[in-house]
Amino acid sequence: MDTTKPEMQFIDLAAQQKRILPQLQKRITDVLLHGNYIMGPEVIELEQKLSDFTGAKHVISCSSGTDALLMVLMARGIGKGDAVFTTPFSFMATAEVIAFLGATPVFVDIDPITFNMNPSSLTKAIEAVLSGDSNVYPLPSNDKKRSRLNPGAIIPVDIFGLPADYVKINSIAEKAGLPVLEDAAQSFGSEYNGKKACNLSDVAATSFFPAKPLGCYGDGGAVFTSDDGFAEVIKSIRVHGRGTEKYDNIRIGINGRLDTIQAAILLEKLKIFTEEIRNRKKVADLYSALLLNKVDIQTVPKGSTSVWAQYSIRSDARDVLRNALKKNNIPTAVYYPKPLHLQTAFASLGYKPGDFPVSEELSNKIFSLPMHPYLTYEQIHHIAGVITKALI
Ligand SMILES: *Cc1c(COP(=O)(O)O)cnc(C)c1O
């Protein structure tokens, strides 16, 4: 191993920090000096900047992407007996919040080229729930004996940074009278038909977990909506269901606030974010050019852009490729090795292998390459070279 070269990072947060360290330090010091650690001025400033960035009228910052999803479902009154439609090819949190509220995740398989929720499968899944007929589409089997589920909401996920097909999904939702919650935890900064992610349906949730495209130095997230009344409810839920006065509680809520220090960090990172997105796209475009026809690449449809939270490829030779990369000190990761319907935590739903074949196949073949805005031309060529050689 060449010890003179710095080790290649899967996500290089240190390179980003090095670039803006004095600004970050100043922002953090400002918070230490004013001492408003909870809901300080940086939180208000950040929410305004995120609103300007996405075009969503209201931004309610919060403690994590998971809590953002949770608060939205709470505000919609989702609970026992409700079916919430989402994809099994996502991070645990997406379906976890549904089950946490006592509602039932009803999974909808993904499209094989975008890896996002397949709208025609969504239509079938809604039909199946309405008729209680799992011959129409696979349903949670334990609900057969129970009273029928009511369709409650749809949570499409913008997987790896690519927005789902909102034209079709929003139209299906409208016909069915269902609200849509965009899980934009990975797609903050992406675009879809000229609009920004987090502003593509009724309401959206994002995450500022450090490894996300826009990350803070701890946990953080936000809810986005242009509905005034709904925004007020989310703000109330964020602080224990607060009413108009401090110790007036009008509903059940959570402690869901974003720390002021995290907002301060995000404000500095937001300043370089547009340039970082451009660099992410350059990295992805070069990968794609070098790997074309060698492995399957997530397809970005016309009218969409991705922030490439992950650059993921699908290959029958996954293990061979990952081993070859590992030997060259190139880190890789598998998102996600097990689709959600096959997770032990959801065993009680009674789904079985074969229910969502596209997600299952992807879980067996997908892996992600190093992706961050500071990858060099040489590093990308090196990675693609190792893959190309391993495939011969
Ligand atoms: C990261 C992530 C979440 C959860 O965000 P946290 O901030 O980690 O709670 C939810 N959904 C998806 C798709 C994610 O990638």
- The pLDDT confidence band at residue 182, using thresholds 50, 70 and 90, is very high
For residues 155, 241, 50, 116, the Cα torsion angle rounded to the nearest 10 degrees is -10
Residue that the structure tokens 């391993």 belong to: 390
Distance 64 CA to ligand 1 centre (A): 8
Our answer to whether residue 212 is catalytic in this structure is: yes
What percent of the chain lies above the pLDDT cut of 90? 95
Is position 12 within any domain? no
Distance 212 CA to ligand 1 centre (A): 9
Answer whether 220's CB lies under 8 Å from 207's CB: yes
Check whether residue 321 and residue 225 sit in a common domain: no
Is position 134 within any domain? yes
Is position 152 within any domain? yes
Check whether residue 27 and residue 65 sit in a common domain: yes
Of 144, 168, 212, 281, the catalytic one is 212
Residue 307 has pLDDT above 80, yes or no: yes
Answer whether 255's CB lies under 8 Å from 39's CB: no
Closest Cα to atom 1 of ligand 1:
185
Check whether residue 290 and residue 192 sit in a common domain: no
pLDDT of residue 191: 98
- The pLDDT confidence band at residue 235, using thresholds 50, 70 and 90, is very high
- With a Cβ cut-off of 6 Å, ligand 1 is lined by 64-66, 90-91, 93-94, 157, 183, 185-186, 207, 209, 219, 221
What CATH number corresponds to the domain at position 143? 3.40.640.10
**Dihedrals phi, psi of 282, to nearest 5 degrees:** -60, -45
* Structural domain count of the chain: 2
Using the atom order of ligand 1, give the atom closest to the CA of residue 68: 9
Check whether residue 180 and residue 265 sit in a common domain: yes
Measure the CA–CA gap between 57 and 39, rounded to whole angstroms. 19
Residue 170 has pLDDT above 70, yes or no: yes
Check whether residue 204 and residue 326 sit in a common domain: no
Check whether residue 326 and residue 361 sit in a common domain: yes
Average pLDDT, the chain: 96
Is position 313 within any domain? yes
- Domain-ending residue, one of 271, 290, 320: 271
Is position 68 within any domain? yes
pLDDT of residue 246: 81
Check whether residue 26 and residue 132 sit in a common domain: yes
Predicted confidence (pLDDT) per residue in 340-357, tens digit: 999 999 999 999 999 999
Structure tokens at 389: 């050689």
- Angle between helix axes 228-238 and 65-75 (nearest 10 degrees) is 120
Check whether residue 364 and residue 217 sit in a common domain: no
Is position 355 within any domain? yes
DSSP H helices in 119-194:
119-131, 166-176
- Domain-ending residue, one of 230, 245, 271: 271
Query: Quick count: other Cβ atoms within 10 Å of Cβ 359?
Result: 26
Check whether residue 250 and residue 301 sit in a common domain: no
What percent of the chain lies above the pLDDT cut of 70? 97
Is position 324 within any domain? yes
- The pLDDT confidence band at residue 245, using thresholds 50, 70 and 90, is confident
What is the mean predicted confidence (pLDDT) over 322-350? 97
What CATH number corresponds to the domain at position 304? 3.90.1150.10
Domain of 236, in residue numbers: 17-271
pLDDT of residue 294: 93
- Domain-ending residue, one of 231, 255, 271: 271
Predicted confidence (pLDDT) per residue in 188-213, tens digit: 999 999 999 999 999 999 999 999 99
Check whether residue 73 and residue 185 sit in a common domain: yes
Measure the CA–CA gap between 392 and 388, rounded to whole angstroms. 7
Residue 1 has pLDDT above 50, yes or no: no
Is position 8 within any domain? no
What is the mean predicted confidence (pLDDT) over 258-271? 98
Check whether residue 99 and residue 110 sit in a common domain: yes
Answer whether 315's CB lies under 8 Å from 365's CB: yes
Distance 66 CA to ligand 1 centre (A): 6
Predicted confidence (pLDDT) per residue in 92-111, tens digit: 999 999 999 999 999 999 99
Residue 145 has pLDDT above 60, yes or no: no
Check whether residue 60 and residue 182 sit in a common domain: yes
